[in-house]
Amino acid sequence: MIPPRFAANLDWLYAEQAYLDRAGAARADGFMAVELQQPHLHDVDALTAGLAGLRVVLMNAPAGDWTAGERGFAALAGCEARFRDTTLRGLDLAARLGSPRLHLLSGLAQDTPQARATWLANLAWAAEQAGTVMLTVEPINHRDMPGYFLHRQAQALALLAELGSPRVALQLDLYHCRVAEDGESLSHLVRALDLGLLGHVQVAGTAGRHEPGRDEYAAELALLDARGWPGAVGLEYRPRQDTSAGLAWLSSGAH
């Protein structure tokens, strides 16, 4: 049985299946929740039907032309119109799919005063449009995504504190955190919890971004339990083999 706190990211897991069949595969394995990275690329009615009985806990807003290297627009001066368009499209789809969280990507930009001001202004506007949806922002390490604006935990927490919006929170991918923060993630999780800024958590094995080791995130998951944090933990990794066969790491009891 999959512990209910875990959500299958359908853009990473079950890649051996056609996209619209992945929800059924996750349901068959015992998942109760899923994440969606690029749901806007698929027929919404077919996607909704396939998701029946599953909670969507997080989805991404459109991030532009991924194949052309676009990775969102929040920090990109001159791209405010595109940021607003993709945010509104994301919010509309989140409402249709019942997702309570929407990830807004920051884009490829140097961390300059202009980029920070653009990011703050864009996120302030987005927060006003969000309604009951929680917006999330995620630091992504520069090894996997060179040039991404938001890439360190302290940078993200400082910007969120300056923004000061209850509708925007941190999406803490413990894999990205360990890669960017010298292999350490527990203290960063503690900090986000202490500040009340933690909106979502994701995991992947630090080596190769495959399945985590059985106890790789035991301390972090135990902390979430001890704090009574109610959110989901997304599984955003590249399975070494058939997805279902690779789920054995969840039997560890460290969750």
The residues spanned by each domain of the chain are 6-252
Q: Is 236 a catalytic residue?
A: yes
Q: According to the model, what pLDDT value does residue 254 have?
A: 46
Domain over 6-252 is classified CATH 3.20.20.150: yes
Q: According to the model, what pLDDT value does residue 1 have?
A: 80
- Are 116 and 75 spatial neighbours (Cβ–Cβ below 8 Å)? yes
Q: Is 70 a catalytic residue?
A: no
pLDDT < 70 regions, the chain: 251-255
- Residues 161 and 178: their CA atoms lie apart, in Å, by 22
Q: According to the model, what pLDDT value does residue 252 have?
A: 54
pLDDT tens per residue across span 57-104: 999 999 999 999 999 999 999 999 999 999 999 999 999 999 999 999
| Two structure tokens written together for 170 | 């941190």
- Residues 38 and 10: their CA atoms lie apart, in Å, by 9
Cα 180 to Cα 40, 69, 119, 137, distances in angstroms: 29, 21, 21, 16
Q: Is the pTM of this model over 0.85?
A: yes
Cα 130 to Cα 2, 49, 91, 101, 195, distances in angstroms: 31, 25, 7, 10, 21
Choose, from 35, 211, 220, 236, the residue flagged as catalytic. Answer: 236
> Tokens 């135990």 correspond to what residue?
222
Choose, from 138, 211, 216, 220, the residue flagged as catalytic. Answer: 138
Cα atoms in the Cβ-side hemisphere of radius 13 Å centred on 54? 30
